[in-house]
Chain A
């Protein structure tokens, strides 16, 4: 550590002592001390270019078109990716269909499971390498890709591997069969984890897959294809096509897909539903959210503040279930706000590869523009903005952690999904008012409740219209835990027995 040479601008004063007794001693980093850079140096082993992964082989797109993939942390080019068009997607579907008919559906469940176990293990072997690649490509802090994304991705393969020979137990009295070929499109916020989240249950149930990762974050998907090769996964069982919206539309609407699964924005989800209307294809949709994180006056405040911070700043707020609407009981609103500001000052924003970084890069320039625009609307509409006085790197896409107080329900920042490190704070007086405000949205993905009272947790949990409720915690995920939304946040579940059933046909 070395002393800081420049003193950052205005900082929030320490809060006055409250009736809760003397406050504990706190370390305020960044005021007097700075961390030395601590970059993670493992080699991400990124090739200079990647083809499409079809029928077990990497191949260029038929027309040879490519597009660059840059690192949002420093805007440097990482690699060139093949741009798949409808004809390439068609090839992928035929490969999947053939693999399904000839190989995958014929394998006994326990044999399918062995492949998934192998994939989980091979991913664990190369965990650090994948974590670095993920942070480089997507901008998330290395501590998150290292401690959350990659291990949880492996856990999804491991968990579902064990289901492959136990499908008979999923729906008692019913016969369970795979759909056949499944088309999947995933977003850029958890590139590898979403991939595992989608592939593992689909494969365990006996389906073959054509999947499109997001155009800004395809690298770890293609690296995982190397693992599929090493694991000896039969060609065509998983096919990865890269590209943007047009490629995605081709994946979703291909006639050979008997089921599609989409994770992304509500707007695109609706467009997919319209384009598939009348085809009889099965769908699952994991769409947007605008979660309420509700803090009651009897909540353990220190834990709640950590939970609020984790709820909104985890992965730069690029989380569909982010706790982006904080509902605080009026009596503690000032105290919570003060403590939040204090806690935010110790968040370190910067190089995603630095092990001390809490908040990395915004995934793309486009997303940064959207966040900036919505934050401007918050100011114009009269909410009060606080941003931490941190220095942002000059290259790359960064946004300072932001909170808005004095937000009303009609503000755009309280209604629209920002998908960035921006928190909107509203207040409430009674539990009923909290419920009413929390449910006053067309979304219904997740919610948080902070209170010391067990019966209140259960009452709140039963009244919140949300698919996941975190009580005295936030942003927790597990392959055994079903995840998915109410209302316009989508339908179908991912994870657990309920999630696996969505990849099976019952007869």
Chain B
């Protein structure tokens, strides 16, 4: 029997391209019968810091060509592929007997590739040249909405989290995401994978902690322009009420009905967080 004691990892959140613990220095333990790790219990101040990081990174990410964004997302797939086994183990923490962590990790990889392929194509489907009845060249293009909040569910803690994040960053938005509260470990690993993926720091920011502590700030922060959430009826009411103050774009899925994350991917998910801009120009000499 080996006597060597392994080095355990201190879980950290990935914000602004750096690994942070909560500014509050608080943590909460996750257990699998035995103790597993202490997870950062992020605060509303951490949410605001993450928004600031996203605001810095957003314009640069938006400016990248679709082709470049596609390659970076593909690179994310490469990085994730290399840590499949470790991720499956993280997904298995707190999972139900019927769950299949390996299948979830593989589905996550396919999802990354799905959206990597969209980055330089969605514009041709969502935008248009409009045949107006006057001598004008008139076209509609999409632009990212801005900084978007993501609120991930506890089920499928890796696949669901990325299924919500990916369509948002595909079009050049930046994200502040709240990972699953009860199964946060995959998000901790995801941060490490994002850090090695060429995705500019601050484009995706991952926070762990308690929903009830962070959700109101995410809902009311005026620099967050959109929210994609899996939420309870009460949370949905809160999110939509708070959204009215700054006319946020809020798209929610009910947490009370089961979601088949294996199939939840679409062009519409990208369209939910773009703005349409129509430009008119006279045709003449």
Contact = CB atoms under 8 A, between A and B. Distances in A.
A270 interface: yes
A467 B247 CA distance: 15
B56 interface: no
Contact of A270 (B236, B247, B267, B277): B247
Nearest to A460: B279
Interface in B223-265: 225, 233, 236-241, 243-247, 249
Interface residues of B, number: 37
Given A277-B237, A506-B268, A468 B132 contact: no
Contact of B247 (A466, A468, A490, A506): A490
B281 A278 contact: no
Given A174-B268, A270-B245, A497-B128, A457 B281 contact: yes
B196 interface: no
B247 A287 contact: yes
Contact of B244 (A270, A481, A487): A270
Given A469-B277, A478-B130, A482-B130, A278 B240 contact: yes
Contacts of A171: 267-268
B247 A478 contact: no
B62 to A, nearest CB: 10
Contact of A478 (B133, B225, B243, B279): B133
B238 to A, nearest CB: 8
A483 B237 contact: no
B5 interface: no
A480 interface: yes
A486 B146 CA distance: 10
A496 B268 CA distance: 17
A155 B133 contact: yes
B6 interface: no
A472 B267 CA distance: 34
A224 interface: no
A269 B276 contact: no
Which of B138, B238, B244, B246 has the most chain A CB within a 10 Å cutoff? B244
Contact of A277 (B131, B138, B240, B268): B240
A491 B249 contact: yes
A469 B279 contact: yes
B134 A482 contact: no
B132 A478 contact: yes
B140 interface: yes
Contact of B278 (A269, A276, A287, A468): A468
B265 to A, nearest CB: 12
Contact of B140 (A155, A486, A498): A498
A481 B240 contact: no
Contacts of B281: 457, 471-473
Contacts of B140: 481-482, 496, 498
A278 B243 CA distance: 11
A491 B247 contact: yes
B280 A276 contact: no
B275 interface: yes
A11 B270 CA distance: 56
Contacts of A266: 247
A493 interface: yes
Contacts of A312: none
A82 interface: no
A285 B244 CA distance: 11
A150 to B, nearest CB: 15
A482 B276 contact: yes
A461 B277 contact: yes
Which of B225, B268, B275 has the most chain A CB within a 10 Å cutoff? B275
B280 A468 contact: yes
A487 B278 contact: no
A484 interface: yes
Interface in A268-283: 269-271, 273-274, 276-278, 280
A476 interface: yes
A172 interface: yes
Nearest to B222: A442
Contacts of A468: 277-280
Contacts of A491: 247, 249
Contacts of A484: 276
Contacts of A498: 126, 128, 140, 276
Interface string B113-156: 00000000000011010111110101010010000000000000
A470 interface: yes
Interface string B37-65: 00000000000000000000000000000
A471 B279 contact: yes
Contacts of A467: 275-278
A134 interface: no
A126 B5 CA distance: 89
Contacts of A497: 128
Contacts of B138: 478, 480-481
Given A457-B281, A467-B278, A478-B138, A172 B246 contact: no
A469 B237 CA distance: 34
Interface string A481-507: 111101111110100111000000010
Given A482-B140, A498-B128, A498-B140, A471 B280 contact: yes
B247 A285 contact: yes
A461 B138 CA distance: 12
B244 A480 contact: no
B233 to A, nearest CB: 7
B126 to A, nearest CB: 8
B240 A488 contact: no
A488 B246 contact: yes
Interface in A231-268: 266
Nearest to B133: A478
B130 A496 contact: yes
Contacts of A278: 233, 236-237, 240-241
A485 to B, nearest CB: 8
Contacts of B131: 480
A476 B280 contact: yes
B262 to A, nearest CB: 18
Given A174-B268, A274-B244, A469 B280 contact: yes
A273 B243 contact: yes
Contacts of A280: 236
A483 B138 CA distance: 12
Contacts of A488: 246-247
Nearest to A173: B267
Interface in A422-477: 442, 457, 461-462, 466-473, 476
Given A273-B241, A273-B247, 4 more contacts: A172-B125, A473-B280, A476-B132, A487-B225
Cβ-closest 4 pairs across A and B: A278-B237, A277-B240, A273-B244, A478-B132
29 contacts: A270-B247, A276-B240, A277-B237, A277-B239, A277-B243, A277-B244, A278-B240, A278-B241, A285-B247, A462-B143, A467-B277, A469-B278, A471-B279, A471-B281, A473-B281, A473-B282, A476-B280, A478-B130, A478-B132, A481-B130, A481-B280, A482-B276, A483-B278, A484-B276, A486-B275, A489-B247, A491-B247, A496-B278, A498-B276
